[in-house]
Amino acid sequence: MNKKFFLIDPSINFSNQDEIEKQHEDFTKSVNNNWERREQVKDAAIQNFPPLKATFGRVVIKVDIEYKNYAAFNGSKIRLERQFNELDRKKTEPVNAIVVDAANIPSGAEVLIHHNSLHDSNRIFDCEDLVEGEVSTDIRYYSIKENECFLWREGTDDWQPCTIFATALRVYKPYEGSLENIPHTQLKNTLYVTSGLLKGSVVSTLKGCDYEIIFNDEKSVEHRVIRFRPFGDIENEREPEAICVLNDITSLVENGKYFVGLNDKDCKAIK
């Protein structure tokens, strides 16, 4: 039979509760100071624009890879570790970026990109040596395809769709019965267009065209917006996603009889 023996040295003086609490306090303070220093370096690094030029069909961007891991809370912000409790990459991966150089987007503009764009095959390595100041591990540079850039804006202006894209909302037929908490019925493959040539119209689309971008604003408040390709993407051989305009459904939406929104909880009449 296996046995275990424990030897206790009586000469060892164990820490009392006050000493343990002091050690914990010092450790917490050290971690907070290191994190504040990391934030200061990141804030300085994000202001730098290395002399990088985009090639044809590409956009050079810089990204704070921790930008999405914050959430507004009680007038401030807290860490929100999305990677540990969520499997949907649209929710976990960074999509906010700043344009360094592009053909169709101003330099310095904020841009929303595809959630799978930030992988090493697109990353520009060692370009941190081209700028002054300390190197931040949170700021990275990438060269991505133009069709992976969805929306852009300067400062706090309204978002502008990039090239082939338009924004939209889902369409719902409201529940009119007497029961409570019955969700409204979403019209499948149907979108209410909110930008571009088809703005104000309800269109029938191909399947799975309501791609939802999940991003943070400058105050760490989460927002969502739907983008689709109404007229397709000829360069990348993507067919038009808007099949036809539904005039009857458009009239119902305009008259407030059908709702529009991102989901069945926030949808409402446009009037």
pTM (2 d.p.) = 0.85
Task: Using alpha carbons only, give the angle 119, 123, 124 rounded to the nearest 5 degrees.
Answer: 175
Q: What is the pLDDT of residue 211?
A: 94
| Inside any domain, residue 207 | yes
User: CA 113 → CA 166, 194, 237, 258, distances in Å?
Assistant: 14, 19, 20, 31
| Inside any domain, residue 190 | yes
Q: What is the pLDDT of residue 1?
A: 63
Both 93 and 157 in a single domain? yes
Domain count, the chain: 2
> Distance between terminal CA atoms of the chain?
81
Both 103 and 119 in a single domain? yes
| Inside any domain, residue 228 | yes
User: CA 192 → CA 45, 113, 214, 247, distances in Å?
Assistant: 40, 22, 19, 11
Containing domain of residue 173, as a range?
166-261
Both 146 and 179 in a single domain? no
DSSP 238: B
In the chain, the amino acid numbered 249 is: I
| Inside any domain, residue 4 | no
The β-bridge relationship of strands 139-145 and 70-73 is: unpaired
CB neighbours of 101 closer than 8 A, spacing ≥ 6?
52, 53, 54, 59, 60, 107
List, as own/partner pairs, every contact residues 257-262 make where C-beta atoms lie below 8 angstroms and the sequence separation is at least 24, other chains included: 257/174, 258/171, 258/172, 258/173, 258/174, 258/187, 259/171, 259/172, 259/173, 259/174, 259/184, 260/169, 260/170, 260/171, 260/172, 260/192, 261/169, 261/170, 261/172, 262/169, 262/170, 262/212, 262/224, 262/226
Q: What is the pLDDT of residue 9?
A: 73
Domain boundary among 138, 161, 184: 161
pLDDT < 50 stretches in the chain: none
Both 177 and 257 in a single domain? yes
| Inside any domain, residue 18 | no
Q: What is the pLDDT of residue 79?
A: 83
pLDDT tens digits along 165-197: 999 999 999 988 888 888 899 999 999 999 999
Both 151 and 171 in a single domain? no
Q: Residue 111: what are its φ and ψ, rounded to 5°?
A: -135, 145
